[in-house]
Every structure is written in structure tokens, then in C-alpha cells.
């Protein structure tokens, strides 16, 4: 079954080698490696802004920052009138994210009734998951065997087993499991940019 494209919706509120006489590349810490190509969220409720910034910056080389995205997302009459609304909704909605990318010249597309195979074909894809007792946005980067690779704005690059991911991936009434992709006017290429997974990532971030 093909994933269904959704109308706008507002409810949907992660070898060391040594040589003599050879200039070595700078050694990265484990933290730096884990956070490579991931925008880490600065605020408790900004995972949507950080995940979207990860997509824009590392998929399309858009130099936008998380702060710029979050500022634009909150610059709406309903949030200005009621600043606590973002907290009540536990963050921004996918509709908020779509409005932002559309205004920036991209096309934000929400897809429903998705399967893991659909996610793999559409990657990188922003997806809502429920983990550690709260709802959270991550970027699905790819799958290898029984593991998926995620760019998690709260942690960095991480993997889950497909079973763990399917349990965490939120399933909504009527529209099922959803994903959000960002496209450009050039439909010939679906770019992954630096979010394209390398097989060793599934071992490094295991």
C-alpha cells in the first residue's frame, strides 16, 4: 500500500590508525561523532525545530539555525496571544513545520499510513515517536537489517531495532503512522545530503 499524502494537519502536535611521518586528521571525541550532522535541541520543547533544522541544513545545505526556525515557528498570532500553547501541545505541530518550509520556498509533505518500507524509500523523513514517556520528533535516516538509524535532536545519532522503532513510532487514529518530508521544486532528485547513512553508522551508534 502506498503511503497516503495528508492534507494539512495540526493535531500532531543518532578505526583509529596511527602512522609515523603522516599528518593525521583531527581526532573527534565520541560526543562529536555522535552529534555529527545532527542539530541538537537547545530547549525542552524545540525538538521539532531542531529536527527540521537538521533536515534543511544537512539535506539541502540551508544555513538556517535552530533558533531562527524556532523564532519563526512561534511568530504566529495564536502563540503570541497564548505563549503557553506550545507547552500545552508539547511542542510544535507538523502543520507549523509545513508552514515554515513552504514559506521558505520548499514543499513540506505530510504522509500517512506509512510503513517502515515507505520510510526507507522517503528518507530522510521527520517522524514523531513516543519515547521515555513523552512525544518527540526525530529524523529517520535509514535502515540496515533489523536496525534503523535516527538523527535525534535530544541525543545525536542513534540506532534502534526495527521492533523498538515500530513500538515508538506514534500511530494516530485514521491516519496511522506519519512522516514529514521536505522537497524542492526539482523533483528529479530526492537528495539525502550528509544524512545518507553509512553502513558503519549502524555499528558506531549501536
Active site residues: 47
Rounded Cα distance, 48 and 126, in Å: 9
- Contact by Cβ (8 Å): 5, 147: no
CA distances from 171 to 117, 135, 192, 195 (A): 16, 12, 25, 25
How many other C-beta atoms lie within 10 A of the C-beta of residue 90? 15
Rounded Cα distance, 46 and 153, in Å: 9
Strand positions, DSSP E, 10-169: 107-112, 125-131, 134-144, 147-152, 156-161
Rounded Cα distance, 132 and 158, in Å: 15
Cell numbers describing residue 146: 533489523
Amino acid at each position: 500500500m502506498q503511503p497516503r499524502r495528508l492534507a494539512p494537519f495540526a493535531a500532531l502536535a543518532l578505526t583509529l590508525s596511527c602512522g609515523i611521518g603522516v599528518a593525521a586528521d583531527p581526532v573527534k571525541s565520541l560526543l562529536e561523532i555522535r552529534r555529527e550532522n545532527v542539530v541538537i535541541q537547545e530547549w525542552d520543547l524545540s525538538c521539532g525545530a531542531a529536527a527540521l533544522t537538521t533536515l534543511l541544513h544537512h539535506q539541502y545545505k540551508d544555513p538556517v539555525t535552530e533558533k531562527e526556525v524556532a523564532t519563526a515557528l512561534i511568530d504566529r498570532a495564536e502563540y503570541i496571544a497564548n505563549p503557553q500553547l506550545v507547552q500545552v501541545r508539547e511542542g510544535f505541530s507538523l502543520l507549523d513545520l509545513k508552514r515554515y518550509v513552504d514559506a521558505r520556498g520548499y514543499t513540506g509533505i505530510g504522509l500517512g499510513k506509512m510503513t517502515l518500507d515507505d520510510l526507507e524509500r522517503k528518507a530522510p523523513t521527520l517522524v514523531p515517536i513516543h519515547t521515555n514517556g513523552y512525544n518527540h520528533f526525530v529524523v529517520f535516516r535509514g535502515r540496515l537489517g533489523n536496525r534503523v538509524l535516527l538523527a535525534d535532536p535530544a541525543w545525536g545519532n542513534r540506532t534502534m531495532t526495527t521492533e523498538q522503532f515500530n513500538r515508538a513510532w506514534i500511530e494516530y487514529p485514521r491516519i496511522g503512522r506519519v512522516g514529514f518530508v521536505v522537497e524542492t521544486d526539482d523533483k528529479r532528485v530526492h537528495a539525502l545530503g550528509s544524512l545518507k547513512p553509512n553502513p558503519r553508522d549502524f555499528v558506531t551508534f549501536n
